[in-house]
Amino acid sequence: MSKELSGKTVSGFSKLSKRGKLKWIVNNFFKDPEGVMKELTGYWFQDEDNQKIIDGLSENTISNFVLPFSVAPNFIINSREYAIPMVIEESSVVAAASHAAKYWSTRGGIHARVISTVKEGSVYFFWHGDFSLLTAGLSGLDLRIRNACSQLTSRMEARGGGITKIEFVDMGHEEAGYKKLNIHFDTCNSMGANFINSILEQSSEVLREWFDEQGFINEQDGDLEIIMSILTNYTPQCLVEAWVECPVEDLTDIADMKAETFARRFYKAVRIATVDPYRATTHNKGIFNGVDAVVLATGNDFRAIEACGHAYAARTGQYQSLSTCIIENGRFRFSLTVPLALGTVGGLTNLHPMARRSLELLGQPTSEELMKIVAATGLVQNFAAVRSLVTTGIQKGHMRMHFQNILWQLNVSPDEEAAVTEYFKDKTISYAAVRSYLEQLRSPTNPVNES
């Protein structure tokens, strides 16, 4: 064993009981094992059934990591009212979303439409033969795949979904011999990852048999080497648009700025995010503040959504803003087009007790409705951020929201809180400024503290 290692590795950890795992961890990695044990078990749910569900979502669980579950009310999307569940740890995101949603609620609300709902996956393989042989035989293979997968697809087909298209794609221009068997899916209200991956794995077996039978494997063309079969999280054809619009003159009540000035500055800010990846990344991060918070609250896969969104933002070869602003004929239109492969049945959506409540709060949406809700949240989040940036700057509002966290970190008593709040009513808030003011307050030379 290397000298730097201190023997804190273990075999059979996964076989220990939950309490046993926690005990081993606290004894080996913490200075106050008893205290930490008490603290981490304190985060376990009292309801054992709920705790079992959460533990079942991952492996080696020893405690729960809690994030705030918030609600942003006053969303009107396609003339329907919503209160949006959001799980996020960053102050001012939910306040900004609520504020912007309310702003647009008196200007026609938020509009949204689903453009397409195609999900895809591929059997990735290498073969050096003539690509036209594959396309010529595709209809026969298509039928065989559908037959071989009928047990897997029957329930989805009963709900109106299933395999919608099978095609070969020649990728030889990227890598010699590289080809894909690409399959398109309609997964109805489910995200459908397991459904898609099961079909792809089954299809790869059918592909191999078909290749053998067709005599495609020979000395000249080489073997068929199937590398992998997996869905793609890049779903540019699972796309939704959300937008807000109004006459420019209706853009009132924005700081002390005239409507025309605000519209022009807002438009330019979005243009900057369109042409400059440095700004586009932060601009899109603001969009995903809203998107991820709802995706997480509804038990969807935020890593898949993020990966896809950023790949889509770079689809032209340059990373760009996902939102667009147009000012035409005196009208302001701000829109967000984003790929969102979401589900409202299956997976975590029905398993996680809070995800179930989120979906109930949203009125049990279909996956298409959820796509619109999530896009609408991303849009108003983006509107709120850019609005602040081109008017007051974000720090004022952000630090005001962060104020409570600073007070908490500095162990401020209720009496001190009143004094600090009053003092910072019209001053710039920062951790250092609050600490320095507290030091003055607490100083023995402060006349208030003299006995």
Contact residues: ligand MEV, CB under 6 A: 90, 282-283, 285-286, 289, 385-386, 389, 394
Residue with tokens 């007790």: 353
Rounded Cα distance between 435 and 383, Å, is: 33
Minimum CB separation from ligand MEV for residue 302, in Å?
Answer: 15
Cα gap 184→163, rounded to integer Å: 6
Min CB(91)–ligand MEV separation in Å? 10
Cβ-Cβ contacts under 8 Å for 283 (sequence gap 6 or more): 269, 270, 273, 321, 323, 382, 385, 386
The tokens for 418 are 């009143």
Nearer to ligand MEV, 210 or 383 (CB): 383
Beta strands 119-126 and 323-328, pairing class:
unpaired
Distance of closest approach, residue 386 Cβ to ligand MEV, in angstroms: 6
Give me the count of residues in the chain: 451
Active-site amino acid positions = 90, 285, 301, 398
Is residue 117 within 8 A of residue 381, CB to CB? The reply is no
Q: How far from 195 is each of 49, 153, 168, 243, CA to CA, in Å?
A: 27, 8, 20, 32
Q: Which is nearer to ligand MEV, 211 or 383 (CB)?
A: 383
Cβ closest to ligand MEV, residue 343 vs residue 378? 378
- Our CB check for ligand MEV shows the closer of 13 and 278 to be 278
Residue 274 in tokens? 């369109």
Q: Which residues of 100-134 are buried (b: 16+ CB within 10 A; e: fewer)?
A: bbebbbebebbbbebeebbbbbbbbbbbebeeeeb
CB 416 to ligand MEV: min, Å? 29
Query: Which residue in the shown chain puts its C-beta closest to ligand MEV?
Result: 286
CA distances from 48 to 54, 306, 337 (A): 10, 33, 42
Q: Least CB distance from residue 97 to ligand MEV, whole Å?
A: 12
Cα–Cα distances in angstroms (integers) from residue 175 to residues 126, 217, 227, 314, 348, in the given order: 9, 19, 13, 22, 37
Residue 300 vs 382, nearer CB to ligand MEV:
382
* Residue 147 contacts residue 180 (beta carbons within 8 Å): no
Nearer to ligand MEV, 338 or 386 (CB): 386
Whose Cβ is closer to ligand MEV: residue 39's or residue 90's?
A: 90
| Smallest separation, CB 217 to ligand MEV (Å) | 54
Q: How far is the CB of 16 from ligand MEV (least distance, A)?
A: 39
Q: Which run of H or of E encompasses 399?
A: helix 395-409
Instruction: Identify any residues that bridge with 180 across adjacent strands, giving them in sequence order.
Output: 124, 169
If DSSP codes are grouped into helix, strand and coil, which group holds residue 219? coil
CB of 273 to ligand MEV, least distance (A): 8
Contacts of 298 (CB under 8 A, 6+ apart): 85, 342, 344, 349, 355, 358, 359, 362, 370
Task: Find out whether 298 and 337 touch, Cβ atoms under 8 Å.
Answer: no
Q: Which CB sits closer to ligand MEV, 146 or 285? A: 285
- For residue 77 the two structure tokens come to 């999307």
Cα–Cα distance, 430 to 422 (Å, whole number): 15
